[in-house]
Amino acid sequence: MSFELPESVKVYSQFFHPILMWVLLGLSIYAFYLGSQSRKLRKADKEVRKEMIGKKFTERHYRIGSILLALMVTGTVGGMAVTYINNGKLFVGPHLIAGLGMTAMIAISASLVPFMQKGNNLARITHISLNIFLLGLFGWQAFSGMDIVTRILGSF
Tell me the CATH number at 94.
1.20.120.1770
Q: Per-residue pLDDT for 1 more than 70?
A: no
Q: Per-residue pLDDT for 156 more than 80?
A: no
The DSSP code for 93 is: S
Give a yes or no: residue 1 inside a domain: no
Alpha-carbon gap, residue 93 to 29, rounded angstroms: 26
Q: What is the pLDDT of residues 80-106, one digit of tens each?
A: 999 998 888 999 999 999 999 999 999
- Which residues are within 8 A (CB) of 61 and not within 5 positions of it... i.e. 6 or more apart? 31, 34, 35, 37, 38
Does this model's pTM top 0.85? My answer is yes
Q: Which domain holds residue 119?
A: 9-154
For 51-79, give one letter per residue: b (16+ CB within 10 A) or e: ebeeeebbebbbebbeebbebbeebbeeb
Give a yes or no: residue 2 inside a domain: no
Give a yes or no: residue 3 inside a domain: no
Number of domains in the chain: 1
Q: Give the confidence band of 3 by pLDDT, cuts at 50, 70, 90.
A: low
